[in-house]
């Protein structure tokens, strides 16, 4: 069991005496190795980063000397809980926590067993294969998927998504705020039928950030989205109730912050857009048709007049009567 910790972490400091007490039970046990790794030390930073240690303390379990695979410990951080967990794991591996004395000899002990390991022993991490950890196949960082809604007042504000957990501290230098926005809308969600009512000038701005990918170019930076929102009411033809929604535009920037987050700052415009869909009356249609017909006759008359006078001038020029 390895405890990845940071001296500045409050939870790591609280765990230290419990961890040392737990380790004292296994000083003479050759099957259980308990150690710590300080991720703030220069010689350990690459190791912690390559293994995506982003929260402190992080406790990992390596079974049977394996360094390419591990399990997380997420139970209570008390000595009794640690002992119960280790006892359960050893029983599954057909081992024992405390070796039994049989005629003055310890059961299961031979010259090939691992030597006893104590928590304060220098270079403890090398006992579980530090030099082999660069060969791990883990190349992607952990992430999470968030869905839901937030109730806010009709006033400027913001909300942000940040890595937090009870009992853990996070290292900002290892947090990557790259995120993909599947959908972000304001107001009540619209049905597909309602969305089809809007024309192409309105519908793209209802979910402006839909399926947008924002990559953080550095660790420990906050990506902030500045969103300008305007209320839009649409009165469709032959509908008893209007459709109310919100359009928005967005710009973004990134800057260093501890701890980093994905931040969304929004501002509601005091104006409102009202769109009314209506059908023209018959009289308007007849007037338009008459205007078109009148325009056609006028253009034809002008063309006829120009052609008539041009032909007359040409004939007079031929007979020499043009003066």
> 270 pLDDT exceeds 50?
yes
Q: For residue 208, what pLDDT is reported?
A: 92
Interior CA angle at 58 toward 5 and 40, to 5°?
A: 25
Residue 165: pLDDT over 80: no
Q: How far, in Å, are 16, 38, 45, 55, 218 from residue 7 at the CA level?
A: 10, 7, 14, 13, 24
295 pLDDT band, cuts 50/70/90, is very high
Q: What is the pLDDT of residues 32-75, one digit of tens each?
A: 888 899 988 888 888 887 777 878 888 988 887 776 677 888 88
Largest CA distance in the chain: 148
Q: Are 232 and 246 in contact (CB under 8 A)?
A: yes
> Is it the case that residue 132 has pLDDT exceeding 50?
no
Question: Which region among 105-109, 288-292, 296-300 has the lowest average model confidence (pLDDT)?
Answer: 105-109
**Cα(78)–Cα(19) distance, rounded to whole angstroms?**
8
pLDDT higher at 11 or 51: 11
């Amino acid at each position: 069991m390895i405890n990845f910790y940071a001296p500045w972490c409050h939870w790591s400091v609280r765990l230290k005496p419990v961890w040392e007490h737990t380790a004292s039970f296994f000083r003479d046990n050759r099957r259980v190795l308990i150690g710590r790794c300080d991720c703030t030390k220069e010689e350990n930073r690459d190791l912690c980063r390559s293994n995506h240690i982003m929260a402190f303390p992080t406790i990992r379990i390596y079974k049977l000397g394996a360094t390419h695979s591990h399990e997380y410990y997420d139970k209570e951080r008390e000595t009794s809980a640690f002992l119960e967990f280790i006892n359960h794991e050893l029983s599954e591996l057909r081992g024992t926590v405390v070796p039994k004395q049989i005629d003055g000899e310890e059961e299961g002990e031979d010259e090939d067993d691992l030597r006893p390991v104590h928590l304060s022993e220098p270079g403890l991490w090398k006992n579980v294969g530090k030099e082999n950890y660069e060969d791990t196949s883990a190349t992607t960082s952990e992430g999470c998927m968030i869905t839901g809604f937030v109730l806010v007042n009709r006033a400027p504000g913001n909300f942000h998504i940040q890595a937090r957990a009870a009992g853990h501290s996070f290292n900002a230098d290892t947090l990557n705020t790259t995120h993909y926005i599947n959908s972000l809308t304001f107001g009540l969600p619209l049905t597909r039928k309602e969305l089809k009512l809007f024309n192409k000038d309105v519908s793209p701005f209802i979910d402006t950030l839909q399926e947008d990918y924002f990559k953080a170019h550095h660790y420990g930076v906050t990506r902030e989205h500045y969103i300008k929102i305007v209320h839009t009411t649409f009165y469709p033809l032959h509908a008893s109730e209007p459709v109310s929604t919100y359009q928005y535009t967005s710009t973004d920037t990134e800057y260093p912050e501890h701890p980093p987050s994905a931040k969304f700052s929004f501002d509601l415009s005091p104006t409102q857009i009202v769109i009314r869909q209506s059908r023209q009356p018959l009289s308007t249609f007849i007037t338009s048709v008459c205007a078109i017909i009148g325009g056609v006759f006028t253009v034809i008359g002008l063309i006829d007049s120009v052609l008539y006078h041009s032909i007359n001038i040409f004939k007079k020029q031929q007979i020499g009567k043009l003066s």
